[in-house]
Amino acid sequence: SESFDQRAAARNSATSSAIDPADDIAKIRRRSRFATVYLVTDGDRLEQLILPVRGSGLYSMLYGFLALGPDLNTVVGLKFYEQGETAGLGARIDSLQWLAQWGGKRVFDKSGRPIILVVKGGVFPGDPDFIHKVDAISGATITSSSVQDLLHFWLGDFGFGPYLQRMRKQMSEEN
């Protein structure tokens, strides 16, 4: 059985699309026309949707997975499985402490636009946008901003946004 290689598909002009530089906030230049997403279910009930994400950091391409809960808005987890950022700085996108703050955050605003924010200076519970904010990595501003940008890209119209809209519609019709 063949497996789908999304990286190879993104490099091949027959299986990918060029991204207009004005829309390419993830700085990936091309995206494959297809992607493998993972549906974690309990019987017929969706538990998690896991999306592959990637984008350019300061020194490397960041490859990871974003897991969303059954509402397709709440982060269950974020994990980068490949990156080459500066050790002790941008490479801390792999640290359990930084990744732990993503759980429970909401990635979309009420109108369905990506709104997750990676901010410098801390995130405080009294902030009305607390549910959408994650504290940036001190000393790694560009890498932190890159994570925000790649998530906005993949959750938006040029990434998985249309797929997520179809899934939400289908789920609401089933209920």
Give the per-residue pLDDT at 174. 81
Looking from the CA of 79 toward its CB, the CA atoms found within 13 Å total: 9
Give the per-residue pLDDT at 126. 93
Give the per-residue pLDDT at 59. 93
Q: What is the 3-state secondary structure (H, E, C) of 8-33?
A: HHHHCCCCEEECCCCCCCCCCCEEEC
Instruction: Give per-residue pLDDT as tens, 18-38.
Output: 999 999 999 999 999 999 999
* Cα gap 137→160, rounded to integer Å: 26
Instruction: Give per-residue pLDDT as tens, 52-70.
Output: 999 999 999 999 999 999 9
Collapse the DSSP code of 118 into the 3-class scheme (helix H, G, I; strand E, B; otherwise coil) and give the result: strand
Give the per-residue pLDDT at 146. 97
Give the per-residue pLDDT at 4. 87
Whether the pLDDT of residue 1 is over 60: the answer is: no
Instruction: Give per-residue pLDDT as tens, 104-158.
Output: 999 999 999 999 999 999 999 999 999 999 999 999 999 999 999 999 999 999 9
* Cα gap 134→152, rounded to integer Å: 14
2 band by pLDDT with thresholds 50, 70 and 90: confident
pTM of the shown model: 0.94
- Each domain of the chain, given as residue ranges in start order, spans 6-174
Give the per-residue pLDDT at 34. 92
* Cα gap 147→90, rounded to integer Å: 10
Determine contact, residues 141/135, Cβ cutoff 8 Å: no
Give the per-residue pLDDT at 135. 95
Residue 138: which residues within 8 A CB-CB, separation 6 or more?
120
